[in-house]
Amino acid sequence: MRKRRTPRKFRSSKAGYHIHHIIPIHMGGTDTIDNIIELSITDHAEAHRVLYEQYQNWEDYLAWKTLSGQITHLEATKLAQSLGPKNRSKESWDIATKKAIETNKKKGYRPSWNAGLTKDDHPALRDASERGKLHMKEGRIHCIGDHHRGNNFSDDHKKNLSTAAKNRSKVTCEHCDKEVIPQMYTRWHGENCKSRRG
């Protein structure tokens, strides 16, 4: 996995020190020099603890716990996924979406026609949303791949599908000894296997 580099303007010049936003970005702080200070890792954790106790923002809670070594980065990521979207206001999502669009423009990416729009903003999205709800209500769509379900295949076609599935090349995972197709091995086995020791 490639490690994400911290932008140069947010890197501390001293080893063992972190850059800290006095007013955090999630509370409307800016990236200006008057809102940034250098803190030791311990002081950085303490600053986020104080902010959490004062304002009860989950972002500060995760920063405090992670910097102080009470939870791992993986645990923090899982907590952020469970806490973040539910507690995020519409305004916060709008700001994040606009920032993403601006970043993509700077990088030269063309945004899709519906970037940043909701079903309330455009009739085509509203129609698609209503159509999807209707299809789900009628039992026509449940999940990806459902458009194949319910098709009446001939017996010959079913036999060909079964034969093709049996004749696929298989790979055995060295950690759990399961025999799987190469695509499943790459995604769920080998280095990513849950049974992996060490």
Query: Is 177 inside any structural domain?
Result: yes
Q: Does residue 106 lie in a domain region?
A: no
Q: Is residue 53 part of a domain?
A: yes
pTM of the model: 0.41
CB neighbours of residue 45 within 10 Å: 20
Question: Total structural domains in the chain?
Answer: 2
Instruction: Pick the last residue of a domain from 32, 61, 90.
Output: 90
Q: List the domain range (segments joined by +) for residue 177.
A: 163-198
Boundary residue ending a domain (90, 122, 150): 90
Of the three residues 39, 66, 90, the one that is the final residue of a domain is 90
Angle at 143 between CA 112 and CA 119, to 5 degrees: 40
Q: Which DSSP helix (H) or strand (E) runs through 161?
A: helix 155-166
For residue 134, is it within any domain?
Answer: no
Give, in degrees to the nearest 5, the angle at Cα 11 between 72 and 54. Answer: 55
Tens-binned pLDDT, residue by residue, of the chain (198 aa): 344 444 555 555 567 788 899 998 888 888 888 888 999 989 999 999 999 899 888 888 889 988 988 888 888 877 777 776 555 566 665 666 677 777 777 777 766 666 666 667 777 767 776 777 766 666 655 555 555 556 677 888 888 888 888 888 888 888 888 888 888 888 888 888 888 765
In a domain, 107, yes or no: no
